[in-house]
Structure 1
């Protein structure tokens, strides 16, 4: 209790008067529960701390603060709270003015969930109240009985979750300070009796030396489970991302414990034994001093002096005292730290260097980071090997393991294009650096040019700070690491690229606008979910003028003056390089670079596939940036609209998974489609090939969306697809001078286009509409009714007005029954040789390809001519087609769709009409 009081007094000395007032009142606020007091959250909230007797002065202080009289009859109620304990660095040399306070709020096991929730709400309100005093306090609700029973919550901001229990208890026992309530039962058990902790404590109860309501029991630490080391190590590496110096100290302590396993002399036992020997020096019992001394002895014994020097720096930065500066007050923390640095042999120059970390050069920052990452990596490998050697499974939950691994992946993964952050642990200002960029040929790959970042003049031939494939990536790396925050001019030395000073200056302004520095804080809750893209910024043609690029490729020159947004209509591709910056919810920033004529479709494919993995969540808007001399605004606007249209078509919540998206660049069409769990694209050379490609069989309904800026010749098809729906057959006819063009989209979205001689509307449409209806009835007869809803057939006529194309809906009326046609029914099967066999019935007359061979179609034509009284030669139309199961099973997806019947109809009609000498 003497040591406890001394440490609390040391803590109070470091607080300002108002903070001291707040700190002193915290136990009383949990002891009482009156409306009007800070933190009050309802009359049902548990209150009163066991064995706590607030003095009158403290009650008067609270009355003065709340300006109301505090009743005393409430104090006779049964205590529902057992104790308040400070835990961690508080009261130690490691507790600086910026440190927070961690307090374990212990409650009785019999409290209901409703009461515990009310208590948690009160604790949160008291934390908010303390913040008004500039005091950061975190409360952790603890039930000692459940703690012993291993019922722990999962990983949250300051909680180690399921990763460690006994190791957490070790830290608690060597750092805890009793604020109010019961003493820890562990204090009363001599270290020699730790193996029989429970038996010894029960003996004290039985002999009347101790009452159970006088202490709080979290259990003993006679041994440390091997399975905790890997979990605790992962937790500390997780914490190291934000506080590396503190975590490195704790990781080496874990290493020390692991090397002594299973015999472990924990720091908690050392702490208790020292007090039991009445060695009560607060300096020697300081938790951080004890931690350092244990590590120092371990590293000296192993002769690892470089690690010891790193540990001393970690300790110095954790203590956070600038010893190189003169202070009027010379408190105990400063005196103790002065003693240590003198012991280490650090001179004034060393201290000035450490204290002036904000002015370090980038090389010094990188060196320090490398040392810390090396130590973290070493600790991780050691603990992993320990777990493997001792067969110790880690005790982390799968959820905690996933969260930890995600944050470690974010911090330390170095995949190509990902921006790595060099500043770790120290808030170093690197804006004073003089930064230069140079394009230079790779020594490993001759002919490949890379961009390098330097902080010294190029003529001095310095070592580069960073290499990357693009100027944009190097600029972004320098920007997000704070190297460009004060720069207005950037010296750039290109070799192959044609980047201008204006481009560089404008690009830097755009980077600052869309991807600001410093980076926003990432909530720990973000790692509970897979990374989601939160920002997409595309930089176009940086350092590559498309005019120059096209001329070197021997392509047609274009005007640099035009501001037309529809550059695809110019039949040229004005995107020759594309840097896509992707920022996700874990704080990762990745640059993907695409070059040459296919940069645009490659980038769009990559982005679509990334967004597909976001499980239908809405994607951020795409921002585009172009500062090239050739049509920058038009190119940026066009690409932004194209990406927006494409993502809306294939990746919006209401779009079909199998949607196809079509756009044209130069003389090619690009068709995107999701197939077998990935989106890919196909480059198509002509309109004829595009129509053929859109006619391909589909496994399921696959709508087609055309880029609104598509070329004129496909506008009728694009409009027909826009009006098309699932379970629908859409047909449009356009009359030209001497022929009609018919486009049909079937129930799966497959397109069929064919031409026929100019005829009246009824004569042109009636045969095909009747055939479509008969085909639907045949398909329905082979399918359960509920699995095949009735289809609608919609007919349109194409009307053109200049460049405008509209589809006028036609009424079917009597098209299905209009006109008189000779009945021609076709049955199709597969022969033994794999060829198609035809069995045709025309007006009850049978024609079989097995019997007639190639003569069957001419024989059928002659028969039809005989049926016509006038002998007039006009086209014959198939009225019905049936396919055997063998034919259907041979189709690409094992099922028939309307396009298969139309294809067969057109193929057979052509051969019959050839016999009529009509083609």
Structure 2
């Protein structure tokens, strides 16, 4: 076929001169576009199976009509329908009729609401494989309402689901060409680059798009030399009657690139590299080329259009991936970067996915083209076979390939970052998209102590046949050792580099497991240096890893990156490689091996927890190992886990599993740690963020108290119950209950039942008679414990004045700060009785006790003098006694007055009925707040002095 001179290879690119374009020129462009487009669509169909072809060919008809029985049909009368200039062929209509048994009309829709369907990406190119998905831009009328757009989106989802039944993965993207020209884009999704780029996305669309149905892109009618005048050229062509606005879809021109697009697009490609590194390396180097050409960038889309205008219509030469490769190859050759060129070729080869070295019965255009390229690269038969047999690559080959890929990704990102800084350009990503990208990149590439790194490189590689050996070696740090993994015999290890090393055996084992090195092994040679580890323990540990952390790990839903990471699973491996018997023996303690494994752990006072390896899996797919093997093993592990959970948003708690596989009481130890951690989580990870509950458990002869202070979980150790009880009496900022673990035991018998009886907004009085004395233990409204004793006459005279005082004090506190009160406080009374070797806690009713008995009204006002000492004004039946006036004689004067007004004159104890604490006194308290503890302690202190004075009279 002959073509006009203005379109031959010797002519300038373009056809618009001073006189403008003629109808002949426009028709020639249209003809050439359709020739290339049909050729690429045919290549696409050749790569599909017969059923997939039939499914693909039906796609435009499903959007053109909306009829019951067709895939994607929804009960919606307002469903958008009709594709502009689309008229299905009779064969396609018959195929649709076979699905619905109904007749379809082949007439054009009068008011089509869909302008075009475009296929973009690798489809129809050498990069298309049997597993490739189809990305389709569905371009709808800009006047569609949001309601109709939502309906159309639902239909797309239904059709995608239907296509999956043919093993065809189809993704639809609803596009408004008018809004796209204005720069409006969707946010980031799994298949969409969102706000990371605009012009670069358009460049990729134009060089890969294939028109399935509807109007062709207006961009094809604008020569590259007129790209900056895209809008004016199209307007002129419309005004001259050469094209109609209804027959084209106009996304705008690939004009000037914004420098800020490079960093956004680069981040997006690194994001994609997590799952498909070879494809991303290709696109990152292309971005590098564009950046070096900036601002006069000749995009691949321009190169494609120039070739079509010059009548270079070879499908091989116009193949998007071939053009991409050739552009990068020329760039790297010009720069003399041979290593990067070899990596580029491997990336291209793996992206194409054709095993050239393996014979095949069918010859396809993709294979023939790939063979030509491989031959031009000068690859040997051995090189091609090595790549084709990548599934059997050694672990060293995989690690080396990953290193090269990560190095290239890092290099590209660094270059693009420097480019953005040089041109003083900020990225054009939305804050939301930037957050998503940075979080996924952090999860994939961030390296920190204990985090398991995955060596996957985007290829299906089987490492299960690797012969792994574990070896404990001396560390450079004195007194410590490292566990290393090798794939060579133990006697050759000294001269070999480890595949992985870490401070703990579990971390090294877990790295091997998660990277597929242990999936086919039941026995692994181990050479310990310090500890004796049995083969049984190793086998059981590997089985536990497979049970609790099965491979491959579940794929992470991209929606999870919209939220901060939170721990979803915690697996605790206790005493791996550590024998508690040997540890206790080294400390000269009694042997416990003869104790029954079924014995209640609470009866065992020795601490059998020597080490904990805590494996944490979070919602972003990160796996981290934290090792604890010091004196505070259990406490530090609890503190770390509780601290992490409390930093999480929401109230979700991780799944908890505990594993112990050594010979010494493994089941009892695992059960004890599981119960303890569950109790600690339930106690310290509550939805009420204002409270800071205290959690207590004992370890050997010590007691540990956990509490959150200044938003940080900490703990304190107490060697005696006396010290513990003293700590429980400390002031609290709010109601901070004391929660004990389920196996808590104390020699002080009343402590456990008293602590267990606590309730919010309640006070508990516990008492125990001892002949003529009675011991009283009171827990106030904030959880502070007050312990004292007094003379005992009867329950009424014991409880009545105390309950009355507590109620009066409550009224005083309410008048000072009513906001902290939520209803009336409850007062519970418990009597502890030791009877025939049994200790009982009996509830004693307090109702009515507040009005029982007759007591002299003794009121006290407590203030602070100018020198900081306490001042008292004591009122007895309205008569006042002031410490400022009486000094040291205050208590004698009060005692004399009380004896004087008693009819009997007996010296039984006097009880203060009311105490008022001044603002100055309250201000000097630890937290600047007065709780019942402070009122009661002032009462007890003053009562003691008054009663001692009375006894001496």
Which residue does 2:731 correspond to in 1? 697
- Work out which of the residue numbers 640, 648, 666 in structure 1 matches 2:700: 666
Q: Does 1:382 align with 2:411?
A: no
Give yes or no for contact 2:89–2:106 (8 Å, CA) kept in 1: no
Q: Does 1:304 align with 2:337?
A: yes
Taking the aligned partners of 1:138 and 1:390, their CA distance within structure 2 comes to: 36
**Following TM superposition, by how much is the alpha carbon of 1:897 offset from its aligned partner in structure 2, in angstroms?**
0.8
**Where in structure 2 are the equivalents of 1:607-756 lying within 5 Å?**
607-653=641-687, 657-713=691-747, 716-737=750-771, 739-756=773-790
- Work out which of the residue numbers 200, 205, 216 in structure 2 matches 1:167: 200
Taking the aligned partners of 2:838 and 2:296, their CA distance within structure 1 comes to: 86
**Following TM superposition, by how much is the alpha carbon of 1:804 offset from its aligned partner in structure 2, in angstroms?**
6.8
For residues 714-773 of structure 1, give each alpha carbon's deviation from its aligned partner in whole angstroms, at most 9, with x where no partner exists.
563443344333332221212235532211111112111112234321222223222212
- Which stretch of the first structure deviates more once superposed, 129-138 or 92-101? 129-138
SS of 2:849's equivalent in the other structure is coil
Which residue does 2:489 correspond to in 1? 457
**Where in structure 2 are the equivalents of 1:350-749 lying within 5 Å?**
350-443=383-476, 445-460=477-492, 461=494, 462-564=496-598, 566-653=600-687, 657-713=691-747, 716-737=750-771, 739-749=773-783
Taking the aligned partners of 2:324 and 2:866, their CA distance within structure 1 comes to: 86
- Which stretch of the first structure deviates more once superposed, 42-51 or 103-112? 42-51
Give yes or no for contact 1:88–1:176 (8 Å, CA) kept in 2: yes
Q: Does 1:283 align with 2:283?
A: no
Given the two structures, how large is their TM-score scaled by the length of structure 1?
0.96
Which residue does 2:874 correspond to in 1? 840
Give yes or no for contact 1:148–1:219 (8 Å, CA) kept in 2: yes
Give yes or no for contact 2:83–2:109 (8 Å, CA) kept in 1: no
**Following TM superposition, by how much is the alpha carbon of 1:558 offset from its aligned partner in structure 2, in angstroms?**
3.0
Taking the aligned partners of 1:91 and 1:250, their CA distance within structure 2 comes to: 18
Taking the aligned partners of 2:665 and 2:793, their CA distance within structure 1 comes to: 48
- Work out which of the residue numbers 263, 282, 290 in structure 2 matches 1:257: 290
SS of 1:89's equivalent in the other structure is coil
Taking the aligned partners of 1:827 and 1:97, their CA distance within structure 2 comes to: 88
For residues 343-402 of structure 1, give each alpha carbon's deviation from its aligned partner in whole angstroms, at most 9, with x where no partner exists.
111001001111111111111110000000011111111111111111111111111111
Q: Does 1:88 align with 2:121?
A: yes
Give yes or no for contact 1:185–1:216 (8 Å, CA) kept in 2: yes
Give yes or no for contact 2:859–2:913 (8 Å, CA) kept in 1: yes
Q: Cα distance 1:802–1:325, how it changes in 2: closer, same or farther (>3 A)? A: farther
Which residue does 2:155 correspond to in 1? 122
**Following TM superposition, by how much is the alpha carbon of 1:465 offset from its aligned partner in structure 2, in angstroms?**
1.0
Q: Cα distance 1:711–1:434, how it changes in 2: closer, same or farther (>3 A)? A: same
**Following TM superposition, by how much is the alpha carbon of 1:313 offset from its aligned partner in structure 2, in angstroms?**
0.5
- Which stretch of the first structure deviates more once superposed, 790-799 or 224-233? 790-799
Q: Cα distance 1:167–1:762, how it changes in 2: closer, same or farther (>3 A)? A: same
Taking the aligned partners of 2:479 and 2:55, their CA distance within structure 1 comes to: 68
- Work out which of the residue numbers 226, 233, 242 in structure 2 matches 1:200: 233
For residues 512-535 of structure 1, give each alpha carbon's deviation from its aligned partner in whole angstroms, at most 9, with x where no partner exists.
100101111111111111112211
Where does the alignment leave 5 or more consecutive residues of structure 1 unmatched?
none
- Work out which of the residue numbers 837, 849, 852 in structure 2 matches 1:815: 849
- Which stretch of the first structure deviates more once superposed, 372-381 or 824-833? 824-833
Give yes or no for contact 1:3–1:280 (8 Å, CA) kept in 2: yes
SS of 1:673's equivalent in the other structure is strand
Where does the alignment leave 5 or more consecutive residues of structure 2 unmatched?
1-33
Give yes or no for contact 1:535–1:584 (8 Å, CA) kept in 2: yes
Taking the aligned partners of 1:489 and 1:801, their CA distance within structure 2 comes to: 59
**Where in structure 2 are the equivalents of 1:222-233 lying within 5 Å?**
222-233=255-266
SS of 1:816's equivalent in the other structure is helix
Taking the aligned partners of 1:597 and 1:737, their CA distance within structure 2 comes to: 44
Q: Cα distance 1:603–1:715, how it changes in 2: closer, same or farther (>3 A)? A: farther
**Following TM superposition, by how much is the alpha carbon of 1:864 offset from its aligned partner in structure 2, in angstroms?**
4.5
**Following TM superposition, by how much is the alpha carbon of 1:917 offset from its aligned partner in structure 2, in angstroms?**
5.3
Taking the aligned partners of 1:913 and 1:229, their CA distance within structure 2 comes to: 85
Q: Cα distance 1:701–1:854, how it changes in 2: closer, same or farther (>3 A)? A: same
Taking the aligned partners of 2:259 and 2:135, their CA distance within structure 1 comes to: 27
Taking the aligned partners of 1:164 and 1:775, their CA distance within structure 2 comes to: 67
SS of 2:704's equivalent in the other structure is strand
Q: Cα distance 1:539–1:918, how it changes in 2: closer, same or farther (>3 A)? A: farther
Which residue does 2:86 correspond to in 1? 52
Taking the aligned partners of 1:69 and 1:195, their CA distance within structure 2 comes to: 48
Taking the aligned partners of 1:763 and 1:131, their CA distance within structure 2 comes to: 82
Q: Does 1:150 align with 2:179?
A: no
Q: Cα distance 1:766–1:713, how it changes in 2: closer, same or farther (>3 A)? A: farther
Give yes or no for contact 1:577–1:594 (8 Å, CA) kept in 2: yes
**Where in structure 2 are the equivalents of 1:60-71 lying within 5 Å?**
60-71=94-105
- Work out which of the residue numbers 771, 785, 792 in structure 1 matches 2:826: 792
SS of 2:781's equivalent in the other structure is coil
**Following TM superposition, by how much is the alpha carbon of 1:806 offset from its aligned partner in structure 2, in angstroms?**
4.9
- Which stretch of the first structure deviates more once superposed, 278-287 or 787-796? 787-796
Give yes or no for contact 1:560–1:630 (8 Å, CA) kept in 2: no
**Following TM superposition, by how much is the alpha carbon of 1:784 offset from its aligned partner in structure 2, in angstroms?**
4.3
**Following TM superposition, by how much is the alpha carbon of 1:855 offset from its aligned partner in structure 2, in angstroms?**
4.3
**Following TM superposition, by how much is the alpha carbon of 1:915 offset from its aligned partner in structure 2, in angstroms?**
3.3
Taking the aligned partners of 1:803 and 1:142, their CA distance within structure 2 comes to: 82
- Which stretch of the first structure deviates more once superposed, 556-565 or 575-584? 556-565
- Work out which of the residue numbers 216, 221, 224 in structure 2 matches 1:191: 224
For residues 832-880 of structure 1, give each alpha carbon's deviation from its aligned partner in whole angstroms, at most 9, with x where no partner exists.
2222222333455544333444443345445555555666444333222
**Following TM superposition, by how much is the alpha carbon of 1:44 offset from its aligned partner in structure 2, in angstroms?**
2.4
Taking the aligned partners of 2:788 and 2:614, their CA distance within structure 1 comes to: 42
Give yes or no for contact 1:829–1:883 (8 Å, CA) kept in 2: yes
- Which stretch of the first structure deviates more once superposed, 476-485 or 3-12? 3-12
**Following TM superposition, by how much is the alpha carbon of 1:265 offset from its aligned partner in structure 2, in angstroms?**
0.6
- Work out which of the residue numbers 288, 299, 313 in structure 1 matches 2:346: 313
Which residue does 2:15 correspond to in 1? none
How many residue pairs get aligned? The number is 917
- Work out which of the residue numbers 290, 293, 302 in structure 1 matches 2:326: 293
Which residue does 2:130 correspond to in 1? 97
**Following TM superposition, by how much is the alpha carbon of 1:486 offset from its aligned partner in structure 2, in angstroms?**
0.5
Give yes or no for contact 1:650–1:656 (8 Å, CA) kept in 2: no
Taking the aligned partners of 2:847 and 2:88, their CA distance within structure 1 comes to: 94
Taking the aligned partners of 1:534 and 1:877, their CA distance within structure 2 comes to: 56
Which residue does 1:828 correspond to in 2? 862
Q: Does 1:39 align with 2:75?
A: no
Give yes or no for contact 1:238–1:407 (8 Å, CA) kept in 2: yes
Taking the aligned partners of 1:627 and 1:802, their CA distance within structure 2 comes to: 43
Taking the aligned partners of 1:781 and 1:20, their CA distance within structure 2 comes to: 81
Given the two structures, how large is their TM-score scaled by the length of structure 2?
0.93
Which residue does 2:274 correspond to in 1? 241
**Following TM superposition, by how much is the alpha carbon of 1:786 offset from its aligned partner in structure 2, in angstroms?**
8.7
